Chain A
Amino acid sequence: MSEPLLSVSGLKTNFDTRHGLLRAVDDVSFSLDRGEILGLVGESGSGKSVTGFSLLGLIEAPGRIAGGSIRFDGQELVGASIDILRSIRGRRIAMIFQDPAMTLNPVLTIRQQMKLAYDAHQSRNTGDFTARALEVLSKVGIPDPAARIDAYPHQFSGGMRQRVAIAIALMHRPDIIIADEPTTALDVSIQAQILAEMRGLAQETGTALIWISHDLATIAALANRIAVMYAGRIVEQGTTAALIRAPRHPYTQGLLNSRPDRFPPKAKLPQIRGAMPSLSNLPQGCAFAPRCQFASDLCRSAIPPWSGTLHDGFACYHPLERTP
């Protein structure tokens, strides 16, 4: 098998705060092939966004990447010079954020912002800017792009703004798009539109996607593979179908069972007790142990090692049985 497009191994990102050292991302490993969609799911504080930022080297003091390796298309990104990172950011790996109202500059027209993004890289693209800008705008479903390109962000709705942000990300035909909760701020009907379009775009352009979300249902609808994060670590990883049908880690199972869709109306949900521990005050051993019904003394003393392959496995001493 050829080398994957992106391979992350043992990634550690720490934040040195006055509450001590926070291990926001701790020993995270995964890989991504061309055209693949990886869903990164977790609750707030699980480290899923910091993982996304780390890939682009967008960690600012007091945070730093403390270890591990990020190999992208044969190149090591951990410790790479700012020039190398700059040549990759936005051109080969692009990012979309949760709130399009914050990513777009309110005092520039869409054309001006797209031009800035276009000129930031000595473009690999041939052809002129306007043609490319109109092409990506129509690709993300903005009606009549020639008329809309000179409008300001406030003249667009939330869904349309997020489409503009996606269009800017697509401009340089990136190999990877990292999308950090891109539909969370949008209404359900608009969310469905964006999901459908992203799925189509990934197929059509061969762009790989890392889709970061707290919503397992939207991730399951989109991703080929899912990685579940808890308190800075990946606790389970697998193909979407396998992970949803037969989760092995009790936390994955708990997340699945927290959604009422799977139960008859008014039935009590098998809730996960307690809340995610603070990163500054992680328990010894498995971070999920205090909330886990299967936890033993072993779980409370040592962090469970990863079992399985890089693409398919879990970190738990008492995994759920795999149902045939």
Chain B
Amino acid sequence: MTDEFVRIDKVTRRFTQPTPWTEHVMARFGVEPPARTVHAVTNVSLGIKRGEALGLVGESGCGKSTLGRILCGIIPPSEGHVSIGGEAVTQGAAKATRRVQMVFQNPFASLNPRMPIGAAIGEGPLAHGLVSRAELVPYIRSWLERVGLPADVAERYPHQFSGGQRQRVAIARALAMQPDVLVCDEPVASLDVSIQAQILNLFLTLREELDLTLLFISHDLGVVRHICDRVAVMYLGRIVEEAETASLYDNPAHPYTRALLDSIPRLEADGIEAQFKAIAGELPSPLRPPPGCAFHERCPLAFDLCHSEVPLLKTIDRSDQHRAACHALC
């Protein structure tokens, strides 16, 4: 597609630990060394249009946070390319890090406890010349107001704020860089339920006002459904399904997506407690991904081919670009 603003192209990321000398010795004696390479992200291609919110869902260890960090240029991919507006995102390049900003899960860890929050918000824009020193104070105040904090709290320190307010500060800090793309990694997971609702409402408002392009990473399918236009489901480092939000939730194609949706107890609008069904088994280790489809050990539909060959993402419904990677479907 040509109108993709963010382009993640065949990105793979492996983390390898150095092999200690003892294992070289063991190898001499024919002992097989343990696996030392984590296959965090494998051959992922995704696009995000300008102004679109893409949700990335999956269980812990599926590689969703690694992919978010690669998009931000925090860690480089082992293979593949990431570009924003046609320009490559490379690690450490000043321009790229301004264009994409990140909001992290835990606002207790992501803010410097010794820095007043106004300084934390203003530091980046000043360094990148987005604002002059003379205009800095009103600039910080305007961002504080935008995220729903009083403008006169800029001199306070993070410990003087509650978790929800800190997350607002973290959002203001990211947005003050005027990024083209915002990556949010579980931005509400560490907050209380009533505070989650406030932050979700803030995201909805900011999306409207600022026309944000968003990669929204979460394990919470309900939250992603509420915020995002399109959703990609990850399993053990690969995208297994991708579709427009309504299509994915109403007609999930991949057996993993279906199982994941069935496994969450939900409170329906009429208030009757929903039933849920558990998926059998557990996520395999990314140190030794199983051959073939990574989900085949837990999949009710698995057959011979699934044990040997990795299924490719195929378009299953052209009208809404619904793609899924499953041998049982095509």
Contact = CB atoms under 8 A, between A and B. Distances in A.
Interface of A: 43-44, 157, 159-160, 187-193, 195-196, 214-218, 220-222, 240-241, 244-246, 254-263, 265-273, 275-276
A246 B270 CA distance: 10
Contact of B204 (A215, A217, A254, A266): A266
A214 B192 CA distance: 8
A241 B270 CA distance: 11
Contact of A260 (B192, B223, B260, B278): B223
Interface string B244-269: 01100000000000011001111111
Contact of B279 (A43, A44, A189): A189
Given A244-B273, A256-B267, A266-B226, A272 B278 contact: no
B10 to A, nearest CB: 27
B276 interface: yes
B226 A265 contact: yes
Nearest to A215: B193
Contacts of A189: 59, 259-260, 263, 278-279, 282-283
Which 7 A-B pairs give the minimum distances between C-beta atoms? A221-B265, A260-B226, A258-B197, A192-B263, A245-B271, A192-B278, A43-B192
Given A260-B223, A263-B226, A265-B246, A192 B279 contact: yes
B225 A259 contact: no
A246 B282 CA distance: 37
Contact of B267 (A261, A271, A272): A261
B194 A254 contact: yes
B278 A196 contact: yes
Given A221-B265, A261-B222, A265-B226, A241 B273 contact: yes
Nearest to A160: B282
Contacts of B272: 241, 244-245
Given A221-B265, A241-B273, A245-B272, A265 B195 contact: no
B321 interface: no
Interface in B175-204: 192-198, 200-201, 204
Interface string B216-240: 0001011101110000000000000
A189 B258 CA distance: 11
B193 A216 contact: yes
Contact of B264 (A157, A188, A262): A188
Contacts of B200: 260, 269
Given A245-B272, A259-B222, A268-B201, A187 B60 contact: yes
Contacts of A192: 263-265, 276-279
Given A188-B263, A254-B194, A260-B200, A221 B273 contact: yes
11 contacts: A159-B282, A187-B59, A192-B278, A220-B265, A220-B273, A259-B197, A260-B222, A263-B226, A265-B245, A269-B197, A275-B194
Contacts of A241: 271-273
Contact of A266 (B227, B273, B278): B227
Contact of A193 (B60, B265, B266, B278): B278
Contacts of A267: 226
B32 to A, nearest CB: 19
A276 B195 CA distance: 9
A222 B278 CA distance: 14
Contacts of B47: none
Nearest to A260: B226
Given A159-B282, A266-B204, A269-B200, 18 more contacts: A43-B195, A188-B221, A189-B263, A192-B279, A196-B276, A214-B192, A215-B193, A245-B272, A258-B196, A259-B222, A262-B267, A262-B268, A262-B269, A265-B225, A266-B227, A267-B226, A269-B226, A276-B194
B132 interface: no
B109 interface: no
Nearest to A255: B193
Contacts of B197: 257-260, 269-272
Nearest to A41: B193
A192 B269 CA distance: 21
A310 to B, nearest CB: 23
Nearest to B219: A188
B117 to A, nearest CB: 17
A195 to B, nearest CB: 7
Contacts of A255: 193-194
Nearest to A247: B271
Interface in B78-127: none
B271 A244 contact: yes
Contacts of A257: 197
A244 B205 CA distance: 28
B308 interface: no
A240 B282 CA distance: 30
A218 B266 CA distance: 8
Contacts of A275: 162, 164-165, 192, 194-195
Nearest to A323: B271
B274 interface: yes
Contacts of A266: 204, 226-227
Contacts of A260: 197, 200, 222-223, 225-226
Contacts of B260: 188-189
B267 A43 contact: no
A168 B328 CA distance: 41
Nearest to B165: A275
A17 to B, nearest CB: 17
Contacts of B245: 265
B217 to A, nearest CB: 14
Contact of B282 (A43, A157, A222, A265): A157
A191 to B, nearest CB: 8
